[in-house]
Structure 1
Amino acid sequence: MDEGGLLGGKFLFKKLPDGLLDKTRVRCTICNAEFKYHRSSSSLAYHLRAKHPTESTSTGPRQSTLQEYGACGRITKNVREKVTNSLVVWIAKNCRPVSIVEDDGLREVIRAASGDECYNLPSRGTIVSRLHTLYGDQRAQQSSKLVQVRNDKVTTLGTDSARNMVAAARLLPFEHMPCMAHILQRTVTVSLNDSAFERALAKCRKIVGHFKHSPANAQELKAQQAAHGHQTEPLVQDVPTRWNSTLEMIKRIQRNKFGLTTILTQQNSKVTMLTDQELDRLQKLEELLEPCRYVTELLGGERYVSCSMVLPALCHLFRIMEPSDDDPVYVLRFKKIFTTDLAQRRDSSNLTWLKIATALDPRFKDLKCLSKDERREVWASVHDLLMSETDAHQPSAQTTEEPSPKKSKMSICLLGSPDSDTEEEEDAIDCCLNLYKAEPKIDIGECPLQWWLKREGAHARLAPIARKYLSTPATTVPCERLFSLSGHIIQKKRASLSSDNVNRIVCLSNWLSAKKD
């Protein structure tokens, strides 16, 4: 018992009217609650812990109970649930095998991070069950987004330019859109195979192989890079199917030419360094391939890329590949082969669809990538599309209606000819197109679909057509990357995966990665 009260003055004896203290009853100084007191403060301490935990004070060290000792350092149920869900998302997003939850190393990492030495990873059955649940939730979200689409769900079919794919596309009732990134890469490959750069590129490949196949040589290259103050980086071998790999091989050899020359000279190797003339040629080739890399990455990006960007991007390449009086003969030859091959591939693609999409993109609606005659043809095509949409939405005539009475010649002269409605419709469409043409262009980084969504009321007739054409992707690269992802998932150690589980893992990896972006 304290002189100022009980438990550090948190409780005081009740004072009687005559000024004396009632030693059988106490009052809480915090909430004024009264309690009976029988020479034990256990109930009073319990009141402090339950009602006033911040005011609770320990009267001294005490031995922990068995339950408290068992719970010391253990993660709570809520935290355990979060860890399990995080494991499920990690496995799905990074395509890890479910059997990783049986890894002792992963268990020890989580134990060290959480401080719970008794933590055990969830079972494989739990992870699989959670994966199915996560897939169902994500699929429902994606389906709800598709339901909100107002246009036709499928309008175009995108493939590469392989003959079997082109032949299959002819049999389907969709517009075929070849992948422009594949087309550009094929043009680069054809131009390199028939150019004066091939000899220098062959020497580059030998140099790269000399350093990639020998750890000792690679270590010497790292030492030379550090000595010259360059970034430590390995050389890159070009592969015909790996986009922009030739350009990257050239750039890395150019950056490390002094270190490579020093090492090859000291080793007295059969592999010789490029001459100054060959390095100059590779510098010219780098300048030619750099715009191709930019356009390939632009059209092959993971973010939304509309087919309306194709013609402006190709027009940019054609301008760069125009012959110049200062160009050497081998550069002129490369440019000629490149422009000829790319023009043939562009003309064999769905050029009409690309032109209309470009016109309906507020970033490129001036159609500077086309000639004046082509511009008039494109706007005439858009005009015809508006007319066909108007005719499709007009109610059909009812055959059961009574025939209208014949009009007199005077009424026909006064009311106008039967073609007056068509002329009015033509004028309305022209007004609609002129209103759109008068709109200011938007920045290249803005989204044209968002622009149409905000101005749908002002361009009600043209907006549905714009959504249809601008929703067509320019490339099939994201799909190709999913195919590559499937190849990484189905391995020797995961050969027993069912097709349904592979589909779930691939879809979840794509959906969850898109959410982060």
Structure 2
Amino acid sequence: MKTEERHFADTCAEHFMHVAGEWDIEGKVSTLTTDSARNMIAASKQLPFEHMPCAAHLLQRAITVSLQHSPFDSALAKCRKVVGHFKHSAPNAAELEKMQDARKKPKEALTQDVSTRWNSTLEMIRSILRNQEPLSDALALHPTKVTMPTAAELDKLQKLETVLEPCRYVTELLGGENFVSCSAVLPALSHLSRVMEVSEDDPAYMAKFKETFTADLEQRKEKTNLPWLKVATALDPRFKDLKCLSKPERAEVWRSITDLLKEERPAQPEQPTVSVPPKKRLALMFESSSDEEDYLERCLERYRAEPTIDMEDCPQQWWADHEGAHSMMAGLARKYLATPATSPAAQPHDQYARRFGAACKMKGTASRIIQTRSGSRKDHDDKRSRCDMEDDSSASSPEASSSSRHTWRSAGEAKASAVTIFVHFPDRTWIIPSCLCASLLSGPGRRLSGTSHRLS
């Protein structure tokens, strides 16, 4: 969100509420997902929303801390110099392509790492390892101070690549825009903890990296919204066995869900006043309370008895198909599963730009909000949302294209924001990066309509 004031906590909180007020969603927002910057954390404490620290930022910091002053420093420094040698000189890049061709390797440019994106370091390592021979051949053509990592350093990089690969998978799992992510945070972090366990075969430098990573990750995990994440995990039919938690924690989670169901259950209509003796009134009160608890327990038991679903299946679709059998829990599941695990900035995307362009022609209202993070990873590419309201063919109109370009240009200017607001409606959920919200409020984008997945 672009502002003229400095991003103090009070200013951020004020702007968040301003956006919510402009869109008339103050009472519909449940969760605010931000990075772990101090001003964002302080701002979230001033707001009436649950705060969800960004899981991707958590991983970024844990990996960065583990790589600082590590035995990998020398090898990574050499990689950066090699990449810079070929990326910043067209003749050098041309020579590398010739050597790749001579070695029958695919022609590819090397990847430069960026300090704010740990996965760029992984891609840099991979590009160096894939092109060891062409790089050595190209560097040997002319005298240069740039040298390839030694065999021992390349071996270190290979081991580092192996342990960073699960982190890449988890980052993609938690950062996707088109499938449920919040409920996967705790299982994913538990998986990383197992992967990072020190084994007898690990050299000392690798053991140090794993220990540093595990300790830092555990420390940061404790600062997340654990109660919310635990409930979300239990309400996801992929992870409802709660293997990522200890047995005492599992029991506590199910008790929490029972309490939440009591709060969510609609109030019973008032009955006509009838004179009842005091003793009988007391007996009826306890009987009513006991019946309600038994009913909620049966609801939970029916859900827990359901088989878990495949990792690639869509939890929201499962709830849509089983809402009749679990009507008491479906609303709670919609609310918790819609929370995003990460806070990505708004960035242009051809598919969404095309749909937004078509939606600009519709007589929409501000209650139709851009939606992401629903559906499954498996079915996103091969079927449209059941709530799509626009025809892609209409996106070719000049008016629609112009509006779409205008909106995305505004969103791109504000892409530094790391905040996501999610809006929960009775039959659907929308998630809005607040920077995109702000840009949509000032022009043609105000009429944009997104797509959503109904749960009923």
* TM score, norm. by length of structure 2: 0.70
Deviation (angstroms), 1:306: 2.9
Q: CA deviation at 1:441?
A: 1.2
Q: CA deviation at 1:351?
A: 0.5
Q: 1:349 to 1:421 in 2, by over 3 A?
A: same
Cα separation, partners in 2 of 1:509 and 1:465, compared to 1, 3 Å: closer
> 1:300, 1:478 within 8 Å by CA — same for their partners in 2?
no
- Secondary structure in structure 2 of the residue aligned to 1:157: strand
Query: Which residue in the other structure is 2:267 paired with?
Result: 393
Letter in 1 for 2:184: M
The percent identity for this pair of structures is 55
Pair 1:272 & 2:147 matched: yes
Higher relative contact order (CA 8 A, sep 6+): 2
Whole-Å Cα distance in 2 between the matches of residues 308 and 352 of structure 1? 12
1:419 aligns with 286
Alpha-carbon contact 1:486-1:506 (below 8 Å) kept: no
Distance of 2:68 and 2:59 partners within structure 1:
15
Alignment of 1:355-374 (within 5 A): 355-374=230-249
SS at match of 1:393: coil
User: Hey, what's the Cα distance between the residues in 1 that align with 2:146 and 2:441?
Assistant: 46
The whole-number CA distance in structure 2 between the counterparts of 1:510 and 1:230 is 46
Alignment of 1:12-91 (within 5 A): none
Question: Using the alignment, how far apart are the partners of 2:348 and 2:57 within structure 1?
Answer: 13
Counterpart position of 1:224: 99
Between stretches 262-271 and 328-337, larger displacement belongs to: 262-271
Q: Secondary structure in 2 aligned to 1:221?
A: helix
Give the aligned length.
350
- 1:157 alignment partner in structure 2: 32
How far has the Cα of 1:416 moved from its partner?
4.6
2-structure distance, mates of 1:475, 1:219: 39
Distance in 2 between residues matched to 1:510 and 1:292, nearest whole Å = 34
> CA offset at residue 268 of structure 1?
2.5
2:296 partner amino acid: I
Q: Conserved in 1, the CA contact under 8 Å of 2:63 and 2:118? A: no
User: In 1, Cα distance between the equivalents of 2:321 and 2:28?
Assistant: 21
Q: Deviations over 1:196-225 (max 9, x none)?
A: 111110111111111112111111100000
Instruction: Look up the SS of the partner of 1:338 in the other structure.
Output: helix
Q: d(CA) in 2 for partners of 1:480 and 1:173?
A: 28
- Are 1:187 and 2:62 matched, yes or no? yes
Offset at residue 365 of structure 1 (A):
0.4
In 2, Cα distance between equivalents of 1:442 and 1:156:
26
Q: Tell me the residue number matched to 2:338.
A: 471
Q: CA deviation at 1:375?
A: 0.6
| CA-CA distance at 1:486 after TM superposition | 4.1
Cα 1:194–1:372 change in 2 (3 A) is: farther
What residue is the counterpart of 1:432 in the other structure? 299
Distance 1:505 1:370 in 2: 47
**Root-mean-square deviation over aligned CA pairs:** 3.1
Is residue 2:171 matched to residue 1:296? yes
Mapping for residues 331-410 of structure 1, pairs under 5 Å: 331-390=206-265, 393-395=267-269, 404-406=275-277
Secondary structure of the 2:32 match is strand
Secondary structure (helix, strand or coil) at the match of 1:316 reads helix
Find the aligned partners of 1:237 and 1:269 in 2 and give their Cα distance. 19
Which residue in 2 is equivalent to 1:245?
120
**Among residues 180, 183, 199, which one is paired with 1:308 in the alignment?**
183
Give, in angstroms, the shift of residue 348 of structure 1. Answer: 0.2
Deviation per CA, 1:402-451: give whole Å up to 9, x if none: 7x2435x6x68xx9564222112111111110000011111212221121
- Do 2:233 and 2:242's aligned partners in 1 also have CA atoms closer than 8 Å? yes
Q: TM-score, normalised by structure 1?
A: 0.62
Answer whether contact 2:31 2:49 (CA < 8 A) is retained: yes
> Structure 1: which amino acid aligns with 2:169?
Y
3-state SS of the aligned residue for 2:288? helix
CA distance in 1, matches of 2:409, 2:210: 36
| Cα distance in 1 between the residues matched to 2:348 and 2:230 | 28
User: In the TM superposition, what whole-angstrom CA distance separates every residue of 1:307-326 from its partner, at most 9, and x where no partner exists?
Assistant: 00111111111111011000
Q: Distance in 2 between matches of 1:394 and 1:284?
A: 61
